[in-house]
Amino acid sequence: MLFTSTFNKLLWSLKRKLNISHKRAYHLARNAMRFGYDNRLQADSSVFGTWSHPAARCAAHYCKSLSTAYDAAGDKGRSIAFHRAASIIFSMSDAGAVNFGTLLEQKYIGSSIELELVDYYLAAHVGGHTPRAAALIEEFNVDVAAAAWKY
């Protein structure tokens, strides 16, 4: 991957906007750039901003769907991780708006969850599944919800 000015701007924007470490901002920006940078990532309604109630519910349902798929595939650790993420997002959306920066501060939201949510947001705009979901569907023939982002 090349370090372009677009990548650098996104990295520093994430670092300031989410108040996270440089390393964490780097990994988020790198993952976002993997699918091709899009100006939608800088919008306040993007995955890095504050989510609408329907968008948060869709993301939570997606995590719940991944949890069920991992459980069927026999991977209990990832199943539990995504189940916890779904529960956290559901509870945050019930309490009000879900902000990505606040979500990252939660105890059980690790790097794999945050990167999957970025993939989810980007997959929702191109239609289809994230690479993780596609691999689960192909390998284990499980049902995983397609990505959808509602504003």
Sequence-separated (6 or more) residues with CB below 8 Å from residue 146 = 127, 128, 129
**Tokens standing for residue 94:** 């019930």
Sequence-separated (6 or more) residues with CB below 8 Å from residue 88 = 103, 106, 108, 109
What pLDDT does residue 35 have?
Answer: 67
Query: pTM to 2 decimals?
Result: 0.90
- Report pLDDT digits (tens) over 60-107: 999 999 999 999 999 999 999 999 999 999 999 999 889 999 999 999
**Tokens standing for residue 4:** 């372009």
> At which residue do the structure tokens 């995590």 appear?
63
- Report pLDDT digits (tens) over 13-49: 999 999 999 999 998 888 888 766 667 777 778 899 9
Q: What is the distance between the alpha carbons of residues 120 and 126, in angstroms, rounded to a whole number?
A: 10
Spans of all domains in the chain: 5-140
